[in-house]
Structures are given as C-alpha cells and as structure tokens.
Structure 1
Amino acid sequence: MLSNLRAPEIILILVVVVLLFGAKKLPDMARSLGKSARILKSEAKAMKKEGDADGGTSSEAPSDAAQQAPRTIQAAPGDVNSSRPVAEPNRANQS
C-alpha cells in the first residue's frame, strides 16, 4: 500500500500534518521521538548485556552483590533530572 504513494500524495500528507500539529510543535515532537528511540535502544542493549552476564555467571557469591553500588537508569545522555536509582532484588535470597 505504501508503494503506491507518489509525490503529490506525500506532499498532501505533510501539509495535513503541519496544519494539524502546527509548525512550531513539529521540531519538539521530532526531538522527543528521537529521545524516546535512544532510550529504547539503550534499554534494549542493557537488557541484552544483562541477560548475557546472567547466563554465564550463575554462581555469584552473595557478598559480591552487597558490595556493588546501586545501579542508575539514565533516561537520556546528559539528562540528569530523570535518572533514578534501581532497587534490584538480591538473587541469593530468592533461591
């Protein structure tokens, strides 16, 4: 269906989007969309890295977990207002 779009149809869609949202809000919307995409990408990498680390080191000592500093999830590079500490469950006590 998207392959049937030609230049006039694309221009018409862009004009409708500009009329609906306004030219002043479009850069902010694009910026927030890019920020969200970066956050999603970094979280996916962190989950993959965490999954790889958990699979290889299942015999951690309980004292190592207590000595680690609390991890922080950062919303975006340089955005310190929305970062928050993460409370992780102690895996040694769950068994």
Structure 2
Amino acid sequence: MLKNVHQYYVYILTNKRNGTLYIGITNSLERRVQEHKEGVIDGFTKKYGLKTLVYFETHQNVNDAITREKRLKKWKRQWKIDMIEKDNPNWSDLAYDWYS
C-alpha cells in the first residue's frame, strides 16, 4: 500500500526581470502563488509587488525542501539569476495561466 505522498515546493517570485527576488517554500504552490498575486498576506512580497513566479522545484521531503530554501537564500544573486535563466530565459510567469 502506498503511503501518502507529499510534495513541497521551493519557489522564486519577482516583480520584473532582474528585479527583487523572493525565495519561499510551500506545500501548495498554486494556492501560495495565488495568495502572493492577490496580496492577501502582508510582508515582503506584498511590499515589493512580487507576483511573478519565475522558478520552482519539487521535493518529496519537507526537510530537503527547507534545506534547499535556506541554501538558495545564501547564494549570490547572480547564481540565482543564472538558475532562473537556465530554464526560464525570458523570466516568464510560470503561473500565468493557472487561474481564470
């Protein structure tokens, strides 16, 4: 019998290409990105208008996701930009068509 499979997401939001970056973690990427887009939670992302999802990765283990988030937050800015541009060179909103 299969155990419950959990997924955790490490993600990066921005306000524009090469703009302010925010790295977060969640267990529901669609819900969390929608919260950022709607500005329902006060804080850094609301203050700087960070609503564009430019990068995310999936983890099965919450501790792995937390470790990855912490590591990314310590990275040099250029490393983060290079990582985003490797898979998303145009800084497209990866959640553009998630909501109607």
Q: Normalised by the shorter chain, which TM-score bucket?
A: under 0.3
Bigger Rg over Cα: 1
Give 1 or 2: higher helix fraction.
1
Give 1 or 2: higher strand fraction.
2
Structure of higher RCO (CA pairs closer than 8 Å, 6+ residues apart): 2
Normalising by structure 2, report the TM-score.
0.24
Normalising by structure 1, report the TM-score.
0.25
